[in-house]
Amino acid sequence: MNGWKIGYKRVSTVDQNTDRQLDGMEFDRVYEDKCSGSTTDRPQLNQLMSDVRQNDEIFVHDISRAARNVGDLNDLVREINSKGATINFVKENLRFTGDKSNPTEELLLNLLASVYQFERAIILERQREGIAKAKQRGVYKGRRATIDKGEIMRLLNEGFSMRKVAEMTNTSLSTVTRAKAEFV
């Protein structure tokens, strides 16, 4: 039985695009997520894992697109291999078939995954330090409010129910509840 040639692409936010990932490659199926790699709850990756069959070959642009930590990456590779499929990381030129006769590939996988995990931790640390410094200088106020709490209170004061206000302001019921609690 011939397997599918499958592409998996991931970006962290909906306003990013995957154009550069696996550019110029042809696939039978492509799965694409637009969500953080820090979560294992990625709908398209979950669907891929559900659909993958023996002899399928999965291609991912680079290790960081598949997972953000060593444990999740190893779990992913093992699960794909346990189904009789192969996973390829194009940028790193690594291929995993489940054949344990090449320990160097497993070492490289873990080493590179550790580097990506470390790099992510450093980025987050720098971000926290920068925010703390900006707060000290009084220039960081947090993200801009996207909810008009005054409008929520006006509608509540006019007698609309919290559920109706949530619907009218295109917010959640919990957002209306929090806004009301701030003004009480």
Catalytic positions are 12
Structure tokens at 129: 């330090």
**Cβ pair 10, 42 in contact under 8 A:** yes
